[in-house]
Structure 1
Amino acid sequence: MPRRFHDAEELFPPATALKRALAIIYDGLISIAVLLVTTWIYTMITGWIRGWEHMERMAEAGQLSGDPGLTFLLFLVLYLFFAYFWTHNGQTLGMQVWRIRIENLDGTSVSWTQSLLRYGTASAVVFLAILGGYYLGAVALILALPAIVALFYPINGLSVTDRTSNSVVVALPKQVKKQL
């Protein structure tokens, strides 16, 4: 059941691109820590199951890079991390610091499906930019930067991720207390 943050008639202004960018940087740093811990746990479990000698031989042969199981796990953990915050209180830790929130147009929390659409859109554009930069060189990555910026930069108050998930990122006034 969606959580109601405020009355449907009460409208908050869209979050500015600067606040969005600062929250993304903050959440990016937290995401790195989450991914490092997840990778460590995955490596420990894999080493225990396969045997440390086998893992050492694979590492020396360069066979540990590009593990599809780890890649899928990291994608899933990061989605669960963001979706949990978005569906429960509309704010990741970085969004709480910069007083912005993701919500539906009627002031309710987004669903897990909306979170998946939002996360999937962002992931796809960033993945294609990185892939293009890897295969086509730095020039392609530089040319892809406008697409990455457009992904999160709001035009008429809505970014690409807002449009695909049918939600909006709003700026919270100082007097609104954080709801748990």
Structure 2
Amino acid sequence: MTQTTAIAFTCPLWRRLLALLYDLVAVLAIVMVVGLLCQLATHGELITSGTQVHIAWWYQPLQGAVVAAYFLLSWLRGGQTLGMRPWRIRVTAMDGGRLTPRQALIRLIVAALPLLLLLGAPVIGLRAAVWAVAASWALWFAAAALNRRRRAVHDLAAGTELRRIG
């Protein structure tokens, strides 16, 4: 495949963002199901309140691990999340092949890095921290608008790209 042909199959930014919006719905559903199962397992004591709200220490890491597993397994099994399927896009290695576990993990970690800004919420406030995360992700995807092959920061770091299929 020539360089020009490969570029013709890259995924436009608008399609990528719409697929991400679909994935947000899937992630919300996953988080709600995990939350329900955790509430049932703890007999409703997962989140307690009194003078202060207390969430079990293991709950948020569990939610993060389950969401991470959704993306990793989707990318490794067929290169598509639920949100990517209706938009007919697939994440691939640069040669068009399947992602390696290393590439998928790098892609996930770099894509999730802006979430670390939420750790600043006690200092700058939750609203400012959420806006900082949103601004960081906007920069991550701005790279895709400027890159010839429409690769976002996490794709550049992992050596992957999104391609239109079919």
**Which runs of at least 4 in structure 1 moved beyond 6 Å after TM superposition?**
7-10
Q: Map 1:165-180 to 2 at 5 A.
A: 165-172=158-165, 176=166
Cross-structure match for 2:54: 64
1:126/1:148 contact within 8 Å kept: no
SS in 2 for 1:93: coil
1:20/1:152 contact within 8 Å kept: no
**Structure 1: runs of 5 or more not aligned:** 1-6
- Distance (whole Å) between structure 2 residues aligned to residue 75 and residue 162 of structure 1: 21
Aligned residue among 15, 18, 22 for 2:18: 22
Cα distance, 1:118 vs structure 2: 1.3
Cross-structure match for 1:148: 137
Normalised TM-score (structure 2): 0.81
SS in 2 for 1:90: coil
Letter of the 1:135 counterpart? V
SS in 2 for 1:97: coil
- Distance (whole Å) between structure 1 residues aligned to residue 163 and residue 105 of structure 2: 19
Larger Cα-atom Rg: 1
- Distance (whole Å) between structure 1 residues aligned to residue 162 and residue 84 of structure 2: 10
Aligned residue among 67, 73, 86 for 1:78: 67
- Distance (whole Å) between structure 2 residues aligned to residue 139 and residue 81 of structure 1: 28
1:79/1:116 contact within 8 Å kept: no
Letter of the 1:68 counterpart? W
Aligned residue among 99, 105, 114 for 1:110: 99
State the percentage of identical aligned residues. 23
Matched length:
158
Cross-structure match for 2:32: 36
Q: What do you get for the CA RMSD once the two structures are aligned? A: 2.5
SS in 1 for 2:162: strand
Cα distance, 1:113 vs structure 2: 2.2
Return the structure number with greater relative CO, CA threshold 8 A, min gap 6: 1
- Distance (whole Å) between structure 1 residues aligned to residue 155 and residue 13 of structure 2: 13
Provide closer, same or farther for how the CA distance between residues 42 and 92 of structure 1 changes in structure 2, counting only shifts above 3 A. Answer: same
Q: Map 1:2-21 to 2 at 5 A.
A: 11=6, 13-21=9-17
Letter of the 1:85 counterpart? S
Provide closer, same or farther for how the CA distance between residues 117 and 28 of structure 1 changes in structure 2, counting only shifts above 3 A. Answer: same
Provide closer, same or farther for how the CA distance between residues 8 and 83 of structure 1 changes in structure 2, counting only shifts above 3 A. Answer: farther
